[in-house]
Amino acid sequence: MELSIIVPTFNEAPSVAELVRRIEAAVRGIDCEVIFVDDSTDDTPEIVRTVAATAQLPVRLIHRARPVGGLGGAVIDGYAAAASDLCLVMDGDLQHPPEKIRELYERFQRGDADVVIASRYVGGGTAGGLADQTRVLVSKASTMVTRAMFPVRLHDVTDPMTGFYLIDRRAIDLEGLRPRGFKILLELLARQSLRIAEVPFDFAGRHAGESKASLRQGLHFLTQLAALRFGKMSLFAIVGGLGAVANVLIVWLLTAMNVDYIVAAIIAAELTIVGNFILIERFVFHDMRDQASSVWSRFAKSFGFNNVEAVIRIPILALLVENLHISSVLATGITLVVAFFARFVFHSLVVYAPMRADARATAFRRAVVKLDEQVMQPGEL
C-alpha cells in the first residue's frame, strides 16, 4: 500500500459518496486506501459502508462509539490503523479538494520532507471557502498569532491551521501523541522537529451540511495553543488567574460590606481553593488522574496544602497592609502571584504524582524530572 487517506468525519453523510468518487479519480495509478474515522451521530457510518461495497479502491470504516480526543484523536486512530506509513489527512466535507492528493503525494516523493502541507496562504492558495470575511479575518489572525508563538518550529509554515496534509508516520512519535484539540497538525509541528514542504490549494465551500465552527471551538483552540506553547503551567496559570480575580473580588465585596480584611481574605481563600481544585481536575491534570491517588485523596492534599499556604500568606498580607501601607486588594494580588509557583510545584510533584514511582531513581531526581516534564511539556525550545 503506497498511501493511506484518513478522513475524520462527524455527520458528513451527504458528502461521502462524492468524496470517494473524486478520490478514486484523483489517485489512479497509486495503490491507496481510504479510512473513515467516524464519530457521527447521523447515518454517516451506513453511507460509508454502502459506498465501500462498490468503490474501486479499499474503503474502511472505524466508527468510534465513544470518541476520545476529538478530531485529533480520530486522526491518531487513523494513523494506527493505516496500511501505509504514508498518511494523508483531509476533511470529509470536500473543502479539501481531492484533486490535490496527487500533488501532495508527488511532492513527498522528492524525499526532502517529512510532511507536505496543503496551504491556503502560499503561492496561488486561497481561503475562499470560509463562510464570510469575518471568518477569513479570524483565520488569518489565528494563523499570525500561532506563528508568532512558535517562531522557530513554524518559521517555514504559512498555514499551520490546515487539516489537509500528508505525513510519514515514521517521523512522529505515535505512542507519545496526546492530542488536546482539533488542530492536530499544529500539535505535530509544535511538538516535533519535522522537515516541511508546502503546496498551495483552494479552500472550497462545503459540499453539504453546516460548518462545525463555533465560539466554543474558538475557546478550545486558544486553550490548546496556550497548552502547546507553555505546557501545563499555562493552564494552571489560567485557572490560578481566574481564582485570583475571584479572590480579589470576594475581598473587595466583603470589605465593602465592612467585613474585616483578614476575615474577608480567609473566606475568599477557602472558596477559591475549592473552585481551583475543580478546575485543575477538569482542565489541567485530567490526563494524570488515572495514575494518581483517588479524587478524595487528591482533594485532601490540595486543600491541605493550600490552607497551609494561606496560613503563611495571610500574615504576610497583614504585614504588607499594616507596615507597608499597601491596600488590601493590591496586597492580596501580590501574595497570590508568589503563591502560584509554590502551588504548581506541589500539585505537579505531590497531588498528581503516579502511585508507582521508579524505585531505582532517587526522590530528588524523580522530583526534578517530573517538574521539568510539567513545566516544559510540550513547549518549544
State pLDDT tens for residues 89-117: 999 989 999 999 999 999 999 999 999 99
- pLDDT band of residue 43 (cuts 50, 70, 90) is very high
Distance from C-alpha of 274 to C-alpha of 266, rounded to nearest angstrom = 13
Q: Which of 37-46, 65-74, 313-322 has the highest mean pLDDT?
A: 37-46
Mind listing the pLDDT tens digit for each residue in 250-298? Answer: 999 999 999 998 898 889 888 988 998 999 888 888 777 888 888 999 9
What percentage of the chain exceeds 90 in pLDDT?
Answer: 36
Model-level pTM? 0.62
- Please report the pLDDT score of residue 178 as a whole number: 67
pLDDT of residue 357 exceeding 50, the answer is no
Q: Residue 54 class from Cβ within 10 Å (0-12 exposed, 13-18 middle, 19+ buried)? A: exposed
Mean pLDDT of the chain: 83
Q: What is the mean pLDDT of residues 166-179?
A: 84
The pLDDT assigned to 33 comes to 97
Domain boundary assignment for the chain:
3-212, 231-376
| Residue 172, φ and ψ in degrees, nearest 5 | -125, 155
**Does residue 378 carry a pLDDT above 50?**
no
Query: Per CATH, is 3-212 categorized as 3.30.365.10?
Result: no
The predicted model gives 67-78 an average pLDDT of 86
Q: CA torsion sign, 355 to 356 to 362 to 368? A: negative
Mean pLDDT of 337-355: 80
Answer yes or no: is pLDDT of 171 > 70: yes
Average pLDDT over residues 163-190: 82
The answer, yes or no, to whether the previous bond of 378 is cis (omega within 30 of 0) is yes
Of the two residues 136 and 309, the one the predictor is more confident about is 309
Highest mean pLDDT among 16-20, 146-150, 233-237, 278-282: 16-20
